[in-house]
Structure formats: C-alpha cells, structure tokens
Amino acid sequence: MTESAAPAARSRVQTWFAARTPWQRRGIALLAGAAATLGHAPFQLAIIFVAAIVVLVWLLDVSSAQERRLRSAFSIGWFFGVGHFATGLYWVSSAFNVDSEAWGPIWGVPATLLLAAGLALFTGLGALLSMLAWTKDVRRIAAFAVGFFISEWLRGHVLTGFPWLLPGYVWTPGEPVSQLASLVGIYGLTLLTLLIAAAPATIADGNASAGRRFAPVLAAALLTGMGFGWGAQRLASSPVDPPGAQPNVRVADSGISQAEKWENRPDQEWRVLRRYLDATGPANDDNATTIVIWPEGAIPVVNFFTLEDPNFVGAIGRALGDRVLITGVTRREMQSDGLAYFNSAVVIDGVSGEARISQIYDKHHLVPFGEYIPFWSLVSNLNITPLQRIGAGFEAGPPPSRLVVPGAPPAVVLICYEAIFPGMTPRGDGRPGWIVVVTNDAWFGGGTGPYQHYAMARYRAIEEGLPLARAAAGGISAIVDAQGREVGATGLNGGAAEAQLPPARPETIFARWGAVLLLTLLAIIAGLRLLPGERRAAGKS
C-alpha cells in the first residue's frame, strides 16, 4: 500500500494542535514567532529558535489537512512573522521619537506594527510555498526549509531588501558554526539553519516508524556537529592576536544621545566636535594610534556643513596630528539640477596638523523613508519628509569601492544599513584589506537593535575573510578579526576602543564561489523532498 493510502495515525502532539480552533492556532503562531526572536542578538538562544520553528512545522501539519490548506498555511506563516518582526524590530519606533516635531511619538508604534505586518507577508509566502510541496512524512522538512529560504531570500532583495533577523544569524558571530558563512554566506547558513531547526518536528510523527521519526534529528545533530568541528578548526588556525606589523586603529563615539546631538544651538557643531576629540585622544609621540574612525554623520548639520568650513576642518587637522581620520559626514554639492545631498564617509589625512580630505565615499544603498522617500515626485505634495529631514533625502552614490588609507591597507567603507547586505565588498582585483563600518545606531534606541546590527556586521567579516573596524554612535564600536571575533569593543554609552588591525585572510570560498555553492546546497536539500516516502502496511498505525 502506498504512503498516500496509509491511515494517518496522529501522535498526542499532533492531535492537540489539530484540536485547537483556527484562531487559537494563529495565536500560537504569533507567540512562537515572538519566541523565535530570542534566538537573535543579544540573546543568541538558538535552542529557543529551534523550538519555535518546530511549533511552526506542527501548525503547518494541521494546515495541510485543511480544505483550504494554502490559505491556512499563509495565515499561520503571516501570524508567525508578525510576532517575530514586531518583537524583533520594536526598536524602529525609537527613530520616530528622536524628531517628534516632524513625526510625533504617536507614529512610532503603528509604523512598527505596519512594518511587521508587511514583512510577515514574506513568512506567509514561505509557509504557502512549503505547503505546495508538503508531505505527511519526514520529507516535509526539506519542503519547509526550501520554501522559507526562498521567502527569506526575497525579503532580502525585493524593494531594495531588508534582510534583518535572517535565521542564519541565530549562531553567535565569531563562534564555530558561524564560520560556515565563509563557505556559503549568511543565506546558505540560513538555509541550513531552517533545515536543522525543523528536523526535531518529526519526532511527533505518529504515522512513521521510529527510524523515520528520529533519523532527521540525528542527521541535524550530525550536520551541526560537523559544522561546529570545521568552524572550530578554522578558528584555531588563526589566533586572536597574530604577529605582524599592522596599524593601530581607534574607533570612537562621543557618547552624545541623538536628541542632544541635534540641539539647535549656535555652537552645536563645535560642542559635538569637542566630545569626539576627547574620545579620540591627543596626538603625541606616545600615542600609537595611526587611524581614528568616527561614526556615520558624526557632526550634525545645524548651522553649517562642516566640510565647507575651513576653520572646522583646520581644528580637526590640528587634533589629528599625523593620524588619519575616517568619519561619516553629511555633505552637499552643486549639480546641474540643483543641490544634491549625500550621506558620506571621508578619509582625512592629517600631516603635521594640516588636514587633507583625500577620499570620499557616498552611500550607495539608502534606507527607504529614512534617507529618501520612494516615488518622491508622486508623494512630494503629502508633506512627508525622510527621518533625516534633508529636502527630498539623500542621493545614492556608486557601489562601494576600495579607498586608499595612508598607513594602512586599502579599505572599503560601508555606511550603516549597507552592513546588513552580504556581497557589497568588492572582490578580485578590487578586494580591500579591511572593512570600515560607520553607523548611527542611536536611531535604534538602547534596546536590542544595536546588538542585532553589530552581529550582522561581524558576519560580513566572516563572509569576506577581512578584519572589520566599526564606529557606531549609540551602538557598539569595535575592532573585529577576519573570523568575526572581537579584538576590542565599547558598550552602548560611547567611548573608544583601540587595537592593532588584525590581518586579512585569503579570499574566502564564499567570496569566490558563493552563488554556485548556495545553488548547489539548495538543489541538494530540494532533492530530499523527491526521495520516496515510507511505505506502510494496510491497517498499520
């Protein structure tokens, strides 16, 4: 007798879930999605994430028996996503409170819930895609992993993408399992994580033999163990403090809150500058620092654009001495159709107290509604402004490229939002020697947002095999090695961290063959769904 004709005996777990009403199951999905957030930074409780995914699989098992199974599956996936993104992205509301004059604090909560509801459409889509290939046996685990991977990949690319809280991030960066990102990137690790997390759901399969119920769990444990062992070996091959003459890097934050930074005072730019100079430290013969990094938009534009004031640039040069400063700035330039504004990073080379702006990078991947308003020509009459409140917003620059940094290897600069996207670092002949991230995490408030953002940035170091220096206003400023391990870091309250820049590793397999390996891995896991199902004798339960 074929599998499809076999009686569908249920376990107690499956019977309990099937006995719930549709709205009870949606409520359970909502709570499971909220619990899944505990898998991410700063908690990194991967076991809770696994439990949440197992509950989601059991809920989808019930949906598969419904008359409108696709509709039921989408609903379960959507409610799971709302719970996950509402708890994982609650800090978005903080951005609206920073400039209450323009937006008003009452907009924060509904805007965050609207964002969660929109992103949950992707988890609903993942559940629907999974249901198209669902089975009553262990093969549904492969269908689940592939369906949700496709939806997560789409979430990271559609409408500029928002790959925040990807399942692969539940592995603490810098620890062994995270090193798999150097092979298949964060999306490949996401696919593997979905497969591993869903596997324990088969233990409750009442219509399967004991071997079939436990085989996926054992396979997931073996896969996790192999990944852990390989990652541990990779870490052991690169000591945390390797020898070599590398420049000293200091990442510094003023410790000023976002509201205090934007106070409307005639000397505001100078007040903020003094705080950054205090965090930078003096330039003298005993100071080993050669490169200083300040965050995104370090100096506010209240009275003037700082790069346009020679007195201001001169004061920076005198404080630098012979050091190099990489800092985020807001700048403008005249173009044929008027003034254009850019969220930029500049390399300022200090030579005997004289400052020279030698390199400029204009942010390429802008934040929708935060840095520009999509379809501005259509909505300009609605009196909506970006959170940055600079006209219609910033203009996008060209993709990141290698910048010359005196006294250090060439660097690539990623500004804030750009650090959540894999693959933005140039490869091949354009490969830099390290990654610089400048960001303003003060928008995120003091909750989990800055920790999540920092964890994602560390994965860029692992994927590319490059050390990373990160200066974050209101976040964690740190120097990270090419395996994602901290070499030096601050807390959320500002200050400075300093360390010798760790060396780069050779170009990773992900950097060279990432797309090929990801597609191969996807094909292998999808192929598991095509394996024959278990045959059951007639009348067996």
Band the pLDDT of 389: cuts 50, 70, 90: low
* Cα–Cα dist 425/258, whole Å: 29
Does 507 score more than 70 pLDDT? yes
What number is the average pLDDT over the span 174-192? 98
Distances (CA, A) of 357 to 92, 107, 302: 34, 40, 21
In this model, does residue 151 exceed pLDDT 90? yes
Is residue 343 left, alpha or beta, with left meaning phi > 0 and alpha meaning psi from -120 to 50? beta
Active site residue 507: no
Pairing of strands 486-489, 478-480: antiparallel
Is it the case that residue 162 has pLDDT exceeding 90? yes
Rounded Cα distance between 20 and 471, Å, is 49
Structure tokens at 402: 């290698």
Peptide bond into 42 cis (omega under 30): yes
Residues 6+ apart with CB under 8 A from 225: none
Lowest mean pLDDT among 175-189, 216-230, 377-391: 377-391
98 pLDDT above the threshold of 70: no
Tell me if residue 261 is catalytic: no
Q: Which two tokens stand for residue 474?
A: 């209101």
105 band by pLDDT with thresholds 50, 70 and 90: low
Strand partners, 412: 435
What tokens does 249 get? 């890097």
For 288, counting Cβ atoms within 10 Å of its Cβ (0-12 exposed, 13-18 middle, 19+ buried), the class is exposed
Residue 461: pLDDT above 70?
Answer: yes
| Mean pLDDT of the region 507-530 | 96
**Residue indicated by tokens 């696919």:** 191
Q: What is the b/e burial string over 394-422, where b = at least 16 CB atoms within 10 angstroms of the residue's CB?
A: bbebeebebbebbebbbbbbbbbbbbbbb
Domains of the chain: 3-237+514-529 (no CATH), 248-504 (3.60.110.10)
pLDDT bracket for residue 244 (50, 70, 90): low
* Mean predicted lDDT score pLDDT of the chain: 90
Write down the catalytic residue from 136, 152, 269, 296: 296
Q: Is the dihedral of CA 127, 131, 135, 140 positive or negative?
A: negative
pLDDT > 90? residue 28: yes
What pLDDT score was predicted for residue 243? 59
Residue of 269, 363, 371, 463 marked active site: 363
Instruction: Report d(CA 134, CA 393) in Å as an integer.
Output: 45
Confidence bin at 444 (pLDDT 50/70/90): confident
Give the pLDDT of residue 371.
Answer: 75
Task: Please determine, for residue 203, whether its predicted confidence score (pLDDT) is greater than 90.
Answer: yes
Q: Considering the candidates 152, 261, 416, 498, report the single residue annotated as catalytic.
A: 416
Higher pLDDT, 1 or 155: 155
Distance CA 424, CA 432 (A): 12
Is residue 538 pLDDT above 70, yes or no?
A: no
**Residue 93 CA to its chain's centroid (Å):** 18
Q: How does strand 468-473 pair with strand 478-480?
A: antiparallel
Residues in a beta bridge with 345: 328, 361
pLDDT at 539: 43
The reported pLDDT for the residue numbered 7 is 42
* For range 338-357, the mean pLDDT: 88
Q: What is the mean pLDDT of residues 511-517?
A: 95
